[in-house]
């Protein structure tokens, strides 16, 4: 199972709509979708070697294509501590009992592990 905020393999894993993810698009509250999973990366901004601006390009959006262009080597295991659930279609949100037409709860406060900030040695 997962060790992060949400375990994507758990049937009760929170599910978020894209409308909910889009509400988290400021430097103080950054969510993004990568490979169908929803991540809170607010606390990672200052550690991102590619700059805050680069990470903000996917804030509140699906950043999978951009992420895979640059970080295809990054496994879901590294991202797992920031995972807050799965992306779902409109009207199917099950996160904390929130309906898709209601604002989502505030983002959890996460501590990003050092391993998530250091790329592996060698070509990327």
In b/e form, how buried is each residue of 50-82, taking b as 16+ CB within 10 angstroms? eeeeebbebbbbbbbebbeeebeebeeebbbbb
pLDDT of residue 117: 47
Query: Residue 95 in 3-state DSSP?
Result: helix
Q: Which residue has the higher pLDDT, 66 or 101?
A: 66
Share above pLDDT 70 across residues of the chain, in percent, rounded to a whole number: 69
Neighbours of 120 (CB within 10 A): 9
Per-residue model confidence as pLDDT tens digits over 26-63: 999 999 999 999 999 998 888 888 888 989 999 999 99
């Amino acid at each position: 199972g997962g060790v992060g905020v949400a375990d994507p393999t758990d049937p009760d894993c929170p599910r978020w709509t894209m409308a909910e993810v889009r509400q988290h698009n400021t430097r103080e509250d950054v969510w993004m979708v990568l490979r169908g999973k929803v991540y809170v990366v607010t606390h990672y901004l200052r550690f991102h070697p590619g700059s805050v601006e680069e990470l903000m390009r996917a804030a509140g959006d699906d950043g999978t294509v951009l992420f895979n262009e640059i970080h295809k080597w990054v496994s879901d295991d590294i991202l797992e501590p920031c995972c807050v659930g799965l992306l779902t279609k409109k009207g199917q949100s099950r996160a904390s009992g929130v309906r898709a037409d209601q604002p989502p709860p505030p983002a959890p406060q996460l501590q990003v592990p050092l391993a998530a900030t250091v790329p592996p040695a060698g070509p990327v």
